Structure 1
Amino acid sequence: MSYLSELRAVVGPRPLFSVGASSVVQDETGRVLLQRRGDDGLWGLPGGGLEPGETFEEAARRELNEETGLDTPLAFWQALSGAHLYHRYPNGDQVYFVGGLCRGRLSAASLEHAVPDDDGETLALGWFGLNGLPTISANVNKQTLSLLRAEVGLPPLPLEPSPLPPVGEHMRELRALVGPRPLFAPGANVLLRDGEGRVLLVRQAHNGLWALPGGSMELGETFEQVARRELKEEAGVRVDELRPLRLYIGPQYRFTYPHGDVVDNVSQLFEAQFLGGELKLQAGEVTEAAWFAPADLPPEHGLSGPLIRANLSDWA
C-alpha cells in the first residue's frame, strides 16, 4: 500500500498534501509526452506520489517506467506549490499538490517500445506539440505545461478555479488522527543575512537547539508564503525579496521530534536581506535569537536536526 493510500485509510477524503513528481519528457522536436489517465479520461504528465525516502528525481523516473515502460535520466527542474494546485479526484479524495518537476529527453521513435501499465492507470500515450495540446487533467499539469509553453512564447493554459484552503494547523490536525508515523512535511527555511554577512538563528523552545527561521507549510500555501509567514511569526521580520537557493528532499533530512513524531522534510531554502529594525520573537516557540558569521556557527550538536545542519553547511 502506498504512502497516500495508508493515510486515506485513516483520514478519508479530507484534503491532504500530495507530494509528487512529474516527468516532463520531450522529444527532439519539443513535443511533450502525455498519458491519458484512467481516472478521468483526460491527459496529463506521467507522475505520481513519492514514497518515504525517495527524491523527486527517483520518484519521477519510477513513475515514468511504471506508467509507460520507458526509461531515461531525469533532472530536477523546479517545484510547484500553492492553492491553485488543489485537486479533487473522481472518487472524492482531495489534495493540494506539492510537485517536483523533472525533465528529460526521449526520441520520438521510443514511443513505439512503450508498454503502458495494465492496471488501467494509463489508457494511452502520445507526443503532443505545445500549441496543440489535448484536454488536460488537473491544474498541476496545466501549470507545468504553461511553463513549457512560456519557453516558446505561447500563452498559459487557463486554470480551473480552486476553493479557499481550509483554515487550521494541518500537521497538528493530521497527527491527531495518524499518530507519530513518518509524514511528508513541505516547508521552507530562510537564510536571513545582515549587513555584515551574518545569518540569523533562533533557539527553538521545544529542544533548545538553534535553527533558521522556518517551518511547515499549511494547505494551499506556496513555499515563499511559508517563508514569509515564518519570518514574521518567529522573528517579527518582513523582507522585500526572497531568493530561492535549493530544495532539500530525501531520507537524510528525516527528523524525529522529542515527543516521537517523525517528518520527512521537503524544504525550500531561501535567502533574504535583513532591512533593519527590532526582532520580535515568537513567545512559546523561540527563546533566543542571534546573528552568526560563517566561522562562528554553533557546533553541529547545537543545531536542530540534519536539515538545518545541511542548510548552514551549504551556506558556510
Structure 2
Amino acid sequence: MSILELRKLWGNQPLIAAAVGVLIQDETGRVLLQRRGDDGLWGEPGGALEPGEDFLTGARRELLEETGLVCPDLALMPLPDGLQSGPELFHRYPNGHEIYIVGMRAQGTLPASALLDAQPDDSGETLELRWFALDDLPPLSNNANRQSLSVLRARVGLPPLPLEPTPPPPPVGNYLMELRKLVGARPLFAPGANVLVTDAQNRLLLLRHGGTGKWTVPGGSLEPSESFEDCARRELLEETGLTAETLEPLDMFCGPEYRFMYLHGDVVDNVSVLYRAEGVTGRLTLQDGEVLEVGWFEVDELPEDEELSGTLIQDNLKVWKRGQDI
C-alpha cells in the first residue's frame, strides 16, 4: 500500500516511510534544491517509494516529477553514506502527518544550464528550483535534508549542519502487526536489517524460522525511530542472544524481487540492509517460538535455495559467498 492509502487508516500517528533523496550537483559543486509547496522551505528532490519500487527507480521518478529533469548518471550512494534512518529523521508535516524517514540517497550531476529546461509537474510540490553552494544553503525543511547535505559538505571539508530537536522515540512494540490489523494481507513495506554472523571456523550462522520452517539469517523489521543498525543489533540479540562489537553495512536489498508472502498470506516488500557482524560475544540462545533450530554452515554446505526463506535470504547468502571467494 502507498503511504497515502495507509494514512486513511492510520491517521496522523508516525509511519515508517521508505523514501529516497536525490542529490544533484552542477559542474561547480552546487546542489539542486526545491522550495517545497507544503512548508515553503528548501530540500532535495525525493519522496516515498511506490509499492514494489526500488530506490533508483524511485529516485528517477521523483526527480522527474519534482523537477522535470532526467539525470543520466544518477546512482545510489555507496553505503554507509547512502543510508537514511534513525530517530533524528522524524518529521511532522504541516497537515499533522508524522513519519520516520528510512531509505537511501541517490546522487548525480547535471550542468547548471539544465535548470533552464526544468518543468516540475502540476502537483504543487515544487514552488521553485535553484542551485545553492554547499556553504551558503537556504532554510531547510527537515533533518533528512540537513543530513543529506551534510554528507556532501563533509566531502569538501565543511562541518555538518545542526539538526533540529525531535520527540523522544516511541517504545518498541510491533509496528507491522499493528498495521496488519488495519490493512489485512495487502503488501506493506517492511524496512529492516539482516546480519551475517560467522564463528572462529568462518562458518555462517543460520536459523530455521518457526513461521516458515525454512533457513534464514538473524534479522527483522524496524520499529519507528530505529536506525537500520539499531534494528540489526536488536534482532540479533532477540533471536540469538548474541551481540556484535561492530556491524558493517554490506548492501541494501529493495525492489519487486524482494516481495515475500508468508504462509498465512501476509505480503511484505522487503527493504533490508545486510550487515556483517564483527566481535560477536554472548551465549547462543534460541528465541522461543520464532527460531526452531540453529546451524553453522561452511560455504559449500549451505542449504539449497528452496530451503531458504525467499529471495532476500538467497541473495544475502550470495553476498557472503562472494566474500569467501576474495
Q: TM-score category by the smaller chain? A: over 0.9
Task: In structure 2, give the amino acid aligned to 1:66.
Answer: E
| Structure 1 position 31 matched with structure 2 position 52 | no
1:63 and 1:98 mapped to 2: Cα distance? 16
Aligned sequence identity (%): 57
1:295 and 1:163 mapped to 2: Cα distance? 48
Structure 2 counterparts to residues 1-316 of structure 1, below 5 A: 3-73=2-72, 74-77=74-77, 78-167=82-171, 168-273=173-278, 275=280, 277-316=282-321
SS of residue matched to 1:242:
strand
Q: Tell me if the contact between 1:37 and 1:123 (Cα under 8 Å) persists in the aligned partners.
A: yes
Deviation per residue, 1:174-194 (Å, 9 max, x gap): 111111110000000011011
Moved over 2 A (4+): 116-119, 273-278
Deviation per residue, 1:108-160 (Å, 9 max, x gap): 01111111222211100000000000000011001100111111111111111
Cα distance change on mapping 1:157 and 1:273 into 2, 3 Å: closer
Shift of 1:276: 5.2
Q: Tell me if the contact between 1:146 and 1:157 (Cα under 8 Å) persists in the aligned partners.
A: yes
SS of residue matched to 1:193:
coil
Shift of 1:274: 5.7
Q: TM-score, normalised by structure 1?
A: 0.97
1:313 and 1:132 mapped to 2: Cα distance? 44
SS of residue matched to 1:314:
helix
SS of residue matched to 1:180:
coil
Question: How many pairs were matched up?
Answer: 315
SS of residue matched to 1:154:
coil
1:37 and 1:276 mapped to 2: Cα distance? 47
Shift of 1:99: 2.7
Q: Tell me if the contact between 1:202 and 1:211 (Cα under 8 Å) persists in the aligned partners.
A: yes
> What is the root-mean-square deviation in Å for CA atoms of aligned residues?
1.1
2:52 and 2:186 mapped to 1: Cα distance? 14
SS of residue matched to 1:240:
strand
Q: Tell me if the contact between 1:193 and 1:274 (Cα under 8 Å) persists in the aligned partners.
A: no
Cα distance change on mapping 1:99 and 1:277 into 2, 3 Å: closer
